[in-house]
Structure 1
Amino acid sequence: MPLDFIGTVLAEGTHRIPYYEQIKRIAPYVIAGSAVKYWSRGATNTWERKLHGKVYLVTGATTQAMGTSVVLEMAKLGAQLIILGREIDEWATDWVNDLRDKSENNLIYMEQCDLSDLWQVRKFVTGWLDNSPPRRLDGVIVMSGDMEPWGIPRISPPIRRSSVEGLELQMATNFAGVFHLLDLLQPSFKAQPPDRDFRIIITTCWLQSLGQVNVQDPLWQNAPYESALKHFASSKLQLALCMLELQRRVTKAIKEEKAGGVERTGFNVSVTLVQPGTMRSPSLRRVLSNGSVTLLLFFYCIILYPWLLLLTKSGHRGGQSILYALMTPELEEVNLENNDVKYISDCKIIKFARKEFTDVNLQAQLFANTQRDILEFEKKMAIKRNQMKSKSNSNSKSNTKPDSNAKK
């Protein structure tokens, strides 16, 4: 019995504890490791609200890490989810069916929209807005992102990967595509009823602190490719700055609108930036393995993984801050004193560190220039597609034209 054992130890001393000397040597390391792990695992969301009847657009849900954990929890709470994916193939169909089974929620759908392809983004949004009356929408949750291997300069120089339209892949996926999606969806945000708590939640990364802002060339079309890290960090920083301007524009437009003579504050639409922390994510695996299967198996899985298990979060833990941003009453209109974008990390609101987040003029100029450059880029790509289509039709006609020299 535990009481008998404790009594014996107290009466006769610790030498009656089996393997006491070994335990005494190991215990400090176990306690220290447990304390580090408790600290590194991050906070837990304690808020919960029913999401029955609510409709959300979600990106980055198929990661099998943070994204999947978040949408599974949302589905269990009854939300209707429209998940945007690069491809709708057999794997994606099976993944959606599996999510429906686990959550016991059949209101989960997937639509094709590759955020690195601006044309696909515009096609999706056009279809979404081409509906009367406007479709219900309670929020947009952006968890998608691309992080290319940083490379070892002396061994493997940086290789620039491009989107189908020619933009640097990280800049296209993390910045241009997300910006384009939210910018085009503004009419849908404004069309929601004033009593609807509408939340736009954008995940970012602490590496944005290493980024640069290219105001005159926000898509970095003419910038030299120096490193994947620089483009990744800059794409996250520029997106975050543009989200501050998006909040101001949406709030201003709603305030100027009078529905039935009723003035609105615009505070029912909130934009929130969430920093999930360092997680054992597919992106981290790709960076640490430098995109090599060999390094993934030996360096990441064998050498680094025990340390990563101790010092980093799981995808489930990383998703807690996103669920907090979705459910906390702090972002409800009645509790807001201003329309400033909130920055959340470890399930609490924190302050921005970089000075660019206080520069309203910089944010407005970056937003306007990004709109301008995306529009110009889309026009250029449209001309290119039309030329390729015309060339393809011409080749098709020439191949089907009867040979005049053939025997009759």
Structure 2
Amino acid sequence: MPVNIIGSLIIDGPDAIPYYEQITKVLPYATGIGVVKYLFKGRKNTWERNLHGKVYIVTGATSNGMGTSVVLDLAKRGAQLIMLTRRVDEWTTQFVEDLRESTQNELIYLEQCDMSDLYSVRKFATTWLDNTPPRRLDGVVLMHGDAEPWFQNDKRKSSQDGVELQLATNFAGPFHLLNLLLPSFRSQPPDRDVRIIYTTCISQAFGSVNLDDPLLEKKQLNARQFFGTAKLQMSLCCLELQRKITSEKKDDAGSVTVSLVQPGLMRSSSLRTILSNGSPILLLLLYCIILYPLLWLFVKNGHQGAQNILYTLMTPELEKVNLLDYSVKYVVNCTIMKNFARKEFADQELQKKLYEKMESEILGIEKKSAFRRNKAKASGSTKEAASTSGTKSANNTSSSKPAKRKSKKA
């Protein structure tokens, strides 16, 4: 009992406490570690908001990290979730069933939408918009991401559309989705508070803006530069997206806000890929054994990173009655920052040109991809027809042989 220990300490002195000398040696180190761990975990979201009946489109939910922590919290609050996933299989289906059971929320749905495939994104967005009256939508939370090993510069991975995989997943896909969903944002009623969130990171400092070639089809960069460029250019397009929504919004329309959220450095799948350089051996030795004590101490886990997303979804500062302006908000450590670090965020003309260039680039890529699909489909039909014709010909030949033998006998 604590009372007995304190009494013994007062009456008999420190020597009465077992292992007192060892405790005094270890306690300063344990205290220091606890203080450092507390400081680096970041702030916690303290806002509460009733989300019952609200509808959110979410990506990156099955990451078992930040995305999973966010959807778990939203589901517990009664929100209806449409979770976009690269593929719908046994594992993702079981994930949704477990989430429904643990949160007692049956309004959780899974939709196939590969963010690296522009055709897959268009199919989902078209299906979502093809509804009368327009579907309710309270927010889009984009938490997915793809980071390739940074030190394999000779290996450029491409998406189905021929775009570098990191640019396709982190830039072209989310841009295409938000651009297609513009009619849905504008059609929400006056009392609706719609929040669009895109998660960025400090690696955008490595990126650059390429107005002539935003998807870097003509340039060969390393994986780190591809990743940083994707994050930077998508963030800039979010600023133009907010202006497009605001300029065409009616006076009696609701509040539609776009926010850029930096969760901070986390022990995520992207960090594991970068540190291990895609090698299972390095993942085991370097990440899980050598560096993990430091990562545990100085780097956030997924739940701690999710606090920034939850803050952005729930803070009353983004409600229409409290908004001072409709400029994009940059959230770091559960705080709305006043200024962006890079000068490109102040250049509205640059952001507009980049947005328009991306629209034309994606349109051109979609046309090429559609041509390839139609050509492959026609080729498949031709082969099938040839195979069917060959089978019929063989059947006719085999059926004519007995008649020929009969004529010889005659």
Tell me the TM-score normalised to structure 1 length: 0.93
Amino acid at match of 1:80: Q
Q: Which residue does the alignment assign to 1:385?
A: 373
Q: Which residue number in structure 1 is paired with residue 147 of structure 2?
A: 147
Amino acid at match of 2:353: Q
Higher deviation after alignment, 278-287 or 58-67: 278-287
Residue 260 of structure 1 is matched in structure 2 by none
Judged with a 3 Å threshold, the aligned counterparts in structure 2 of structure 1 residues 384 and 17 are, in CA distance, closer, same or farther, namely same
- What is the aligned partner in structure 1 of residue 408 from structure 2? none
Query: Which amino acid in the other structure matches residue 281 of structure 1?
Result: S
Whole-Å separation in 2 of the counterparts to 1:271 and 1:139: 10
In the alignment, what sits opposite 1:324? 311
CA distance in 2, matches of 1:7, 1:114: 65
**SS of structure 1 residue aligned to 2:179:** helix
Aligned to 1:246: 241
* Bigger-Rg structure (1/2): 2
1:77 matched residue in structure 2: 77
Distance in 2, Cα, partners of 1:12 & 1:27: 21
SS of alignment partner, residue 109 of structure 1: strand
In structure 2, what residue type is equivalent to 1:115? M
> Is the contact made by 1:70 and 1:323 (CA closer than 8 Å) also made in structure 2?
yes
Report the TM-score, using the length of structure 2 for normalisation.
Answer: 0.93
> What letter is aligned with 1:381?
S
Q: 1:340-384 deviations in whole A, cap 9, x for unaligned?
A: 100111111113111111111111111110111111111111112
Q: What is the CA–CA distance in structure 2 between the aligned matches of 1:54 and 1:111, rounded to whole Å?
A: 18
Q: Which stretches of structure 1, 4 residues or longer, exceed 6 Å deviation after superposition?
A: none
Say yes or no: does 1:202 pair with 2:198.
yes
Q: 1:340 aligns with which of 319, 327, 331?
A: 327
The answer to whether the 8 Å contact 1:150/1:158 transfers is no
Q: Determine if the alignment matches structure 1 residue 362 to structure 2 residue 350.
A: yes
How far apart, in 1, do the equivalents of 2:194 and 2:176 lie? 19
Local SS of the residue matching 1:337: coil
Partner in structure 1 of residue 336 of structure 2: 349
Q: SS of the counterpart of 2:291?
A: helix
Contact 2:195 2:258 in 1 (8 A): yes
Question: 2:397 aligns to what?
Answer: 406
What is the CA-CA distance between 1:267 and the residue it aligns to? 6.5
Task: Give the corresponding residue for 1:276.
Answer: 263
Q: Is the Cα contact below 8 Å between 1:158 and 1:228 reproduced in 2?
A: no
Instruction: Report how far residue 221 of structure 1 moved.
Output: 1.4
Deviation at residue 164 of structure 1 after TM alignment? 1.4
Cα distance, 1:158 vs structure 2: 3.6
Unaligned residue ranges in structure 2 (runs of 5+): 401-410
Identity of aligned residues (%): 56
Deviation at 1:11, TM superposition (A): 5.6
Deviation at 1:17, TM superposition (A): 3.8
How far the C-alpha of 1:320 sits from its partner, in A, is 0.6
Aligned mate of 1:375, from 337, 350, 363: 363
Match for 2:272 among 280, 285, 294? 285
Other structure's SS at 1:406 match: helix
Out of 134, 153, 165, the position equivalent to 1:169 is 165
Alpha-carbon distance in structure 2 between the residues aligned to 1:233 and 1:103: 36
Query: Conserved in 2, the CA contact under 8 Å of 1:85 and 1:113?
Result: yes
Distance 1:200 1:18, change over 3 A: same
| Equivalent residue, structure 2, for 1:231 | 226
**Alignment length, in residue pairs?**
395
For residue 284 of structure 2, the aligned residue among 266, 272, 297 is: 297
Q: Which moved more, 1:95-104 or 1:287-296?
A: 287-296
RMSD after superposition: 1.6
DSSP 3-state at the match of 1:319: helix
Q: 1:22-37 residue pairs with structure 2 within 5 A?
A: 22-37=22-37
SS at match of 1:344: strand
State the AA in 2 paired with 1:391. S
Unpaired stretches in structure 1, ≥5 consecutive residues? 258-262
- 2:403 is aligned to none
What code does the residue aligned with 2:280 have?
Answer: V
Give how far 1:206 is off.
1.3
Structure 1 residue 26: Cα displacement? 2.2
Kindly indicate whether the alpha-carbon contact (under 8 Å) linking 2:188 and 2:254 is maintained by their aligned counterparts in 1.
Answer: no
Does structure 1 residue 215 correspond to structure 2 residue 211? Answer: yes
CA contact (8 A) 2:239 2:328 kept: yes
| Secondary structure of the structure 2 residue equivalent to 1:326 | helix
Aligned partner of residue 335 in structure 1, secondary structure: coil
Native 8 Å contact 1:251 1:267 kept in 2: no
Q: 1:313 and 2:300 equivalent? A: yes
Q: Residues 310-345 of structure 1: CA distance to partner in whole angstroms, max 9, x if unpaired?
A: 111110111011000000000001101111100111
Alignment of 1:84-163 (within 5 A): 84-151=84-151, 156-163=152-159
Query: Offset at 1:19?
Result: 2.9
Secondary structure at the counterpart of residue 310 of structure 2 = helix
Secondary structure of 1:95's aligned partner: helix
